[in-house]
Amino acid sequence: MPRFRPHLQAIPPYSSAREEFSGSARLFLDANENPYAETWEPEAYRYPDPYHTALREAIAAHWGVSPQEVACGAGSDELIDWLLRAVAEPGQDALLTVTPSYGVYATYARIHGLGVREVRLEPDFSLPVDSLLAAAGANTPLAILCRPNNPTGTLWPAETIEAFVQKFDGWVVLDEAYIEFSSEPRGWLEKRTSQCILLRTFSKAWGMAGWRVGYMIADPEVVSLYYRTKLPYNLSQPAQARALSVLKRWPLVQESIQRLQAERTRLAQALAALPGVRVYPSEANFLLIRVPDALAVYKRLLEQGIVVRYRGTLPLCEDTLRLTVGRPEENDTLLEALCRIISS
Ligand SMILES: Cc1ncc(COP(=O)(O)O)c(C=O)c1O
């Protein structure tokens, strides 16, 4: 198994009040909470479960994995941040990733004093496995790959990922934030080996971006180190409860995914029919399009109160916009506006 920073293993974990006792008791006088707050804050006047026990069990049951393989964070962003800090030595190691991809990886690596080796995707956004392996070395202990990739929407073929995993020595973090929208909704679950860490989120398909809940599926040793070194109360009690309840609403979530997939197809076809517009294949809930003078188009859309993401500053993404797939009427409004702007 790849390594973590050695000093982490040796630190005695901070032991919070709620960790030392979490059963049922007559009185809880251990965590300095205000008992009168039961009146105005009945659900959350106590500290939350630092181990997210019920939520991890429910996530594990949903995907058919063990709760010891599941670790929750305040959005998958928190887990990205923790992984970078736990694996790589500042001033010495570098993150291995690709560009264009989700910008948080490189930004947080830099914040933590790490180098960043960003390998450019091929012009068609496929994964350049050989260049990625050539950029790897003893000081790249972790690679992060986003599948489907943000902002391109590409789902790199499983064989490509396998070819990389087989030859790369470090941790392979597969960010599967959008996996539920793809044609492989179980992502890398069945193919995972102990060096793979899967990142998932409740922010996208599950519709809970405001509650900030993400999780990783990883080897129990990774999960155990995480729970020994994360911030004690990183997930609020209401957020844990909400994620638990949304898991029970899977049929509803699934139905919305199907609708968005159908809308993705319809929107892609309609956009491709506009003069000069190129639509890239997407397995996520957004489409990357190339359009002449994208920055001007972006600004004209903004004037009409329509906010999309201008991605033209990223490598290989000149003149691109990233459009989130919305409800049919939202997509119609966007299409009408784009049609008017492009034909004028
Ligand atoms: C690829 C990718 N990973 C992770 C995240 C962060 O998700 P969360 O809301 O779980 O922090 C995002 C958010 O846009 C994303 O696009």
6-248 CATH:
3.40.640.10
Model confidence band, residue 16 (pLDDT cutoffs 50, 70, 90): confident
Q: What are 308-334's pLDDT values in tens digits? A: 999 999 999 999 999 999 999 999 999
What pLDDT, on the 0 to 100 scale, is given for residue 17?
76
Q: Is the pLDDT of residue 21 over 80?
A: no
Question: What's the mean pLDDT in 96-103?
Answer: 98
State in Å: Cα 52 to ligand 1 middle. Answer: 20
Question: What's the mean pLDDT in 10-17?
Answer: 79
State in Å: Cα 163 to ligand 1 middle. Answer: 25
Model confidence band, residue 11 (pLDDT cutoffs 50, 70, 90): confident
**Cβ–ligand 1 contact at 77 (below 6 Å):** yes
**Cβ–ligand 1 contact at 201 (below 6 Å):** yes
Architecture of domain 251-343: Alpha-Beta Complex (3.90)
Closest residue by CA, ligand 1 atom 12? 177
Question: What's the mean pLDDT in 192-216?
Answer: 98
What pLDDT, on the 0 to 100 scale, is given for residue 13?
77
**Cβ–ligand 1 contact at 76 (below 6 Å):** yes
Question: What's the mean pLDDT in 273-296?
Answer: 97
- CA pair distance 89, 272, nearest whole angstrom: 46
State in Å: Cα 327 to ligand 1 middle. Answer: 21
Q: What are 118-173's pLDDT values in tens digits? A: 999 999 999 999 999 999 999 999 999 999 999 999 999 999 999 999 999 999 99
As a whole-number percent, the residues of the chain with pLDDT over 90 amount to 93
State in Å: Cα 40 to ligand 1 middle. Answer: 33
In this chain, the answer to whether the domains covering 6-248 and 251-343 adopt an identical fold is: no
Model confidence band, residue 44 (pLDDT cutoffs 50, 70, 90): very high
Atom in ligand 1 nearest the alpha carbon of residue 202: 10
- CA pair distance 6, 11, nearest whole angstrom: 10
Atom in ligand 1 nearest the alpha carbon of residue 101: 1
For residue 116, the cross-strand partners are 95
Bigger pLDDT: 228 vs 344: 228
Enumerate the domain spans of the chain.
6-248, 251-343
- CA pair distance 206, 214, nearest whole angstrom: 11
Model confidence band, residue 24 (pLDDT cutoffs 50, 70, 90): confident
**Angle CA 268–322–277, to nearest 5:** 50
As a whole-number percent, the residues of the chain with pLDDT over 70 amount to 100
pTM: 0.96
Question: Among the residues of 28-103, which ranges form H helices?
Answer: 53-63, 75-87
- Judging by beta carbons within 10 Å of its beta carbon (0-12, 13-18, 19+), is residue 17 exposed, middle or buried? middle
Mutate to test the pocket of ligand 1, among 101, 181, 204, 242 (most ligand atoms within 8 A of CB): 204
* Lowest-confidence region among 26-40, 64-78, 80-94, 307-321: 26-40
What pLDDT, on the 0 to 100 scale, is given for residue 224?
95
Question: What's the mean pLDDT in 264-268?
Answer: 98
- CA pair distance 319, 290, nearest whole angstrom: 5
| Contact in structure between 342 and 277 (CB atoms under 8 Å) | yes
Q: What is the mean pLDDT of the chain?
A: 96
Crossing angle of helices 328-343 and 294-303, in 10° steps, is 120
Which of 81, 334, 85, 29 has the alpha carbon at shortest distance from 212? 81
Q: Where do the DSSP E strands lie in the chain? A: 70-73, 94-99, 115-120, 142-146, 171-175, 196-201, 214-217, 278-279, 286-290, 309-310, 320-324
Q: What are 166-196's pLDDT values in tens digits? A: 999 999 999 999 999 999 999 999 999 999 9
Q: Is the pLDDT of residue 91 over 80?
A: yes
**Cβ–ligand 1 contact at 102 (below 6 Å):** yes
**Cβ–ligand 1 contact at 153 (below 6 Å):** no
What does the DSSP assignment read for 117-141? Answer: EEEEPPTT----HHHHHHH--TT--
